[in-house]
Every structure is written in structure tokens, then in C-alpha cells.
Structure 1
Amino acid sequence: MTTPAKRSFAAKEEIESLKIVLLINNDAQARKIFLEKSLEKIEAGLVNINKSLKRKIVNHYKKWRWAPYTYRWPAYDLSYYLEIWSGIIRQKIDAGKELKRLLAEPEEIKNKKQAIVKKLKISSFDNHLFNIAADIIYLKSFRKDCWFHGCFAAENLYKEIGRRLGLSLNQVWMMGFWEIAPALRKKEFDPEVINQRIKFSVLYQKGEKGYIYSGQKAKNFLSKLILEKEKIIKVNELSGTGAYAGKIKGKVKIINLPEEMVKIEKGDIMVSHTTFPSLVPAMKKAAAIITDDGGITCHAAIVARELKTPCIVGTKIATKVLRDGDLVEVDADKGVVKKLNK
């Protein structure tokens, strides 16, 4: 009853993405190019695609590349979408059927809610409360996505600030907003102080005034606070959608960023919130792949089928309940992950 009937940004992107797949499939020249396994050949072949379709491809990339950005990089590059579309076409996934399912989903949710209201004789007042709860759940996700899009949109501004100050993007991110104007106008900033913040720092905001502590000062500041520890949900089994069949045991390695790929060894179980092309080297080493997000047409599912690696997507909570070193059994036939004793 609290499931939102409104489409999320992710659902809207997937619908638009599948429409592009249908356009590619209906264009003989484009389809031939996207049947290539090599991303380099697909990218090179884009010049031979009709201008209208090419424009739609590029516009989709520009419109949605912010999706995985969160607070700071990486955004998707064009190769992410080319790999997705190529995989759907080569693996003969019925894009039309999947598109039809996604388009019908909001109405199906509404119909199921109405059936429950009728069956349980839920009052109009209580039903109104359920609708409010559904709106709150939708807005929570919508608010986050708007925030993340804002962070992505601001990146070029941060890059320009960095260019003028001779700082990297990461260094600019470590500056307080109140420090930017003096740095630009009077060159009042210390790169070494900023570098210390990258290693370990705390931002403390009191009213309109902000304070940034680094190193030992940051540790001393934190030691005086009563922090609420994150409650790790104890889950021994989680489920999702099996994207490629297989059953295997292995140790978990959480990989969300390219710099984290050094952790993974051949035979490990790769667990990610989502995947993208720069994580493929880690995916090739993994004995199985598990993600929080995604369905049968997501990047992880596409690549897993190419690699013939057992894969479960859409678990929602894998990165929250699993930790590096956990021993798990992945049964992608059933879409189930079982946590075993270490």
C-alpha cells in the first residue's frame, strides 16, 4: 500500500533506454554496428549511424550520465550506454516486452492497491494515509536524486575554481564554501592544509559558520561527540533477480569505485551498489557478482552474461548487510545469497 506508483528517475531512464534499443533494432545499419562485441568498434561505427538516431543516443547519455554520481563522481561515460544497448541486442533480450512491462507498472500498482482497499474494506481516511506514506517514500528518493544531480551539475564550477587556483578537483572539494571567494580574490589558501583534510577531516557547521578540522584536531573533536553507531542489519539470506545462472561460494569484496578494485582476487564474490565499465576488470576476476540495483537489462546483468559469471541483481541491501571477507553462497538459479560462517 505504500509502494509509490510514480516513476523514479531510474525507471524513466530505463524506459527511454529501451526505446533507443528498439530504434537501433529497427535500423539495419545501426543494428549491425551494435552486434559488435568490441566497444571500440561500436564507438567508431557511430559515425555511420543516421544523424537522428545518433543524436538520440548522445542526448540520452548527456541527459542521464549523472545517475551514479551521488556526491562526487564517477558519472557514466558514453561507453556505459553503448555496452548496455549492445548487450541487450546481442543477447536477444526482448526490449519491447520489457518496455511494455515498465510502462504498465504504475497502473498495475494502482490496481493492486484498489483491490486491497476493496478486499480489506479500508476506509477512505486510512487509504489517504497510505497514499501520503507512498508520496513520502517517493519524495525521499526524488530528493536524493535532485541533490545528486546538483552535485554533478556543480562539478564544472569546481573544476574551473581548481583551474584558477592550481588545485585538483578533489582538493577543491575539501574547501569550505566560505574559503572559495578569498582564495579566488586574494589567493588566501594553503594547499598543504587542504591535503591534510583529504587524509582525515571533519566539517562542523554551526549556524552559518563552518569549521574544518583535520588530523589530530579532527580526532580530538570526534572523541568528544556521542555518535550514533550505524546499526548493521543481521541478515543471513537476501534475494534478487538471477541475471546469469550458477551456484558458487566465495569471500565478499565490496567494490563501488575503480580504486577499490585492488581488493578483489580471482574467485572472490564482487558486491556493488551498481556497476559501470571502469569496474569491468574486477568483474572479470569475480566468481560471482551481486548488486543492490538493477534488473535484467542493467550493466551488471549484461556483463555477467558476457562473462558467463553467476550474477544476482536488485538485492537492494547487499552492500549494507555484507562486508569484506564474509563467506557467502550465491545461488543465481534461485536469485538467493546465503551468508555462511567465516
Structure 2
Amino acid sequence: MDINKLPTKKLVSLFMQYNNDSSNLFRWGWIQNADIVGEGWTNPLVALIEEKIQAKKLDRKSVEAFSLLVTPTQLSKSQLDQEGLLEILQEIAENTTLKKKFELDEDHIEAALHNEPILAKIMLHTSKFGHLTYGTGGPGNSHHEYLSILSGLIKQKVDPVKLLHQEKEKRLKLKKEIAKIEAELGLNPKELLFFSAFRRNTWLRALRKDTLFLWFSAADKLLTELGKRFDRSLDQMRFVMHQEFAQGIPSSDVLQQRMQAMVYYTTETETIIVQGEKAKQFIRGLPFEHENTVEVDEIYGNCACPGLTKGVVKIINTTDDIKKMQQGDVLVSYATMPDLMPAIRKAAAIVTDQGGITCHAAIVSRELGIPCIIGTNKATKVLKDGDLIEVNASHGRVKILRR
């Protein structure tokens, strides 16, 4: 669909349809978040495992067994993206002519691939997975990013066949380990169903977020085109409330104020929008609770993926922070998101303030096999860039070795 040729009324209607679809997504999507508040599912299941371990005198740690039992065996979109790219890389590596073209300077690769079927495959791959890194504000991966990644892998002489085999073996190993733990614990059919449902829920939660980012990507295309017609920037259009498309688009000045500060709330009779300085005053008048952070040498959270490692802290909360991340650093975040994956792939471990066992950090740490501690509540307040820490995820403990 060429949205540039659609009449404005049709564009608005299409955006409103997207808005309704997103509301439905949020409505059903909260089922996957049932584990967040108070660790509603996690604690009873960990307690069940601990009880069975003690009763059978097994040489296992309950948190490690739990982490395995709730790890999805079904591939996530992120894993499909990675494996699909490796399959494209394999095709390139096995074709001497193609391989030479990907060894060129990145600025010349696309021109060299003119009329090559591989370029169409990369474009198709981009349409399927480019949105995974879009986040809430973009940009996602374009075909240029994928060309750059493939070129880098070719120049590094990465063996795609070996990596694909490793991924396949990792999945088979996971399934065998889950079956082994289930047998050792002697889980009954009802208990097996609980853990199976948890694995499915974890996978669905990742899918929910991936779908949401696809929605943001598509909605921004519509808002960009609408912005051209109303002489507003994309950033400004993101602050137009859906009912205002019918009532009248606010001025650029009003939208600019909303970008600085905005409060949106409803009463029984009306919807109220406050922006700019008035919004700042409103926010300052709210009764916030201020937490006094005491300097400590250790903090604790919940194990999402077991392991023990040391590394230098890097606080990564936004995409602007990614440039700080070096290979082997410990990524510390309020809560990770898919748009932080370039930093996450370099991490020796992950530590977060928030999140349950089905949160993004928990999911990707198990996919990557790196230690992860979630739900510390204060990691980003206590830890600073440059701190050297020990992450003992198996015990949910972070120890500060040097500030």
C-alpha cells in the first residue's frame, strides 16, 4: 500500500484502526505480565521445586532448575532473525562471487549486488525482522544495517554452518535438560502443565513486545505522512491524541510544549490535557516518595539465568547509552528492551531494577546463556559506570569489588 497516495481522511481512518488494534493488543497482552507484580507465579513454583529437591535429596539448586524449566523451547522472533541471517550468510559464504562483493567497502556493496537474488532475500528478511529493534521510537534495522552485519561477518570469516549447528544443538540440549529435571523432580501431570504454560507465557510475552514494536513502526509511517500534510514533525505528531484527529490537530507550539512536559488524565466527566510549564507545575505538586539510597557493598535480586562472572558496570537505559558498552561489561538497567540488544550482546551479565522471570532481560539472558539478576529495585541507584562488580546470579547477589 502506497500511503503517500491515500487521501488524508483515509490515512486518519487507517491510523485510528491501528490505534484500536493496539488497544486490543494491550488488553490481551496483560495476561503475559501476570508474573511481574509480586512475582505471582514465580515464588510458588520455586517453592515447589525446593520442596521436591529436599524430599528427594537432589544435588540441584532450585533457582537453576526453575530457570531451565521456564525457558521457552520455541524460537523467539529474535532467534529467528539471527538464524535467518546466518542462513543468508551461509549462501554468501558458499558463493565465491557473492563473497567477494561482501568484502568490498560497505558503501559499494549494495550497488555491487544489483540484480542479485540475495539482495531480494535480505530485503525480505528486513521486512520480517527489521522492526525488532524499533522500540518505541525507532529506527529499526534497515536493509543497510543487515548488509553491514553480513559484510562484517564475512570479513571476520565467521562460519555460519558451525553457528547454525551450535544453535540447533543448544535447543536439543535444553529440551533434554528440561525432560531430565521433570523426571528427577517427579512432576505430576498438573505440575508439568504449570511449567509448560509458564514456558509458553514467557514466549508469548516476548512475542507481545515484538508485535508492539511492529505496531510502533507501522504507526510512525502513517504519522510521518500525516505530519507532512499538517506541517508537523513526526515527534510532534506522536503527541497528537487520537480524538484530536477529529477535533483538530493542535498547533506546532502546543505540540512542542507537550514534548517538554505533558499530563493526560480523565475524570468522570472530562478528559484533561496539560502541557508545558503548567504540566511541570502539576508534576511538581504530586506527592512523590523519595527513597534514600544507603551506600552498600552488596545488593540482591532474583536469579533469571544462573552463573558467576565479574565485569565493569555500564548503566544502559536508552539507545543513547549503547555507545558506552564494551565487550565483557556488565549491563545494568532499570529494565532492558529489545532496542538495547546491541549492548546486551556484548554483556558478560545483566542486572536490572525491575522485572519478573518472564521479562525481556530474563528471556534474552537465557537465550545468550549469560548470568542475569532481576528485580534488585536499586541497582541503577547504587551502581555507577566504572564500578567493578561480581555477579553471582545463582545466588541473586551483586558484590561491589571496586568503585
TM-score by length of 2: 0.60
* Cα distance change on mapping 1:21 and 1:315 into 2, 3 Å: farther
1:13, CA displacement in angstroms? 0.6
1:28 aligns with 2:96: yes
Please list the CA deviations of residues 164-215 of structure 1 after superposition, one character each: whole Å capped at 9, or x if unmatched: 11000000001111112233xxxx5221111011111233356896533223
Pick aligned residue for 1:42 from 98, 109, 126 = 109
CA contact (8 A) 1:25 1:31 kept: yes
1:218 matches 2:279? yes
Task: Letter of the 1:327 partner, please give it.
Answer: G
Paired residues of 2:388 and 2:402 also in contact (CA < 8 A): no
Counterpart for residue 125 of structure 2: 60
Q: Partner amino acid for 1:215?
A: G
Cα distance in structure 2, aligned partners of 1:231 and 1:11 = 41
Contact 2:311/2:330 (<8 A) preserved:
no
Distance 1:166 1:208, change over 3 A: farther
Q: Does 1:292 align with 2:354?
A: no
Give a deviation string over 1:120-170, Cα, whole Å, max 9, x none: 211121111111111121111111111111111111110111011100000
- Match of residue 327, structure 1, among 365, 383, 386: 386
Structure 2 residue runs without a partner (length 5+): 1-68, 349-367, 391-397
The CA distance in 2 between the partners of 1:169 and 1:214, in whole Å, is 18
Which of the two has greater helix per residue?
A: 2
* d(CA) in 1 for partners of 2:289, 2:197: 29
Identity value in percent: 26
Tell me if structure 2 keeps the 8 A contact 1:199–1:215.
yes
Which whole-Å deviations, capped at 9, do the CAs of 1:75-105 have from their partners, x for residues lacking one? 1122211221122222122211211222344
Aligned to 2:216: 151
1:193 counterpart (254, 264, 280): 254
Q: CA deviation at 1:34?
A: 1.3
> 1:117: how far off?
1.3
Change (3 A) 1:199 1:113: same
User: Cα distance 1:71–1:257, how it changes in 2: closer, same or farther (>3 A)?
Assistant: same
The equivalent of 2:203 in structure 1 is: 138
Q: Counterpart amino acid of 2:252?
A: P
User: Partner of 2:82 in structure 1?
Assistant: 14
**1:22 & 1:208 partners in 2: Cα distance?**
61
Alignment of 1:1-342 (within 5 A): 1-36=69-104, 38-47=105-114, 51-183=116-248, 188-204=249-265, 210-223=271-284, 225=286, 234=299, 252=314, 254=316, 256-257=318-319, 291-293=343-345, 321-322=379-380, 325-329=384-388, 341-342=402-403
Unaligned runs of 5+ in 1: 241-246, 280-288, 297-311, 332-336
How many residues are paired up? 291
Higher relative contact order (CA 8 A, sep 6+): 2
Structure 1 length-normalised TM: 0.70
- Contact residue 204 and residue 212 of structure 1 kept, 8 A: yes
* 1:46-96 superposed Cα distances (whole Å, 9 cap, x missing partner): 22xx63222112211222211111111111122211221122222122211
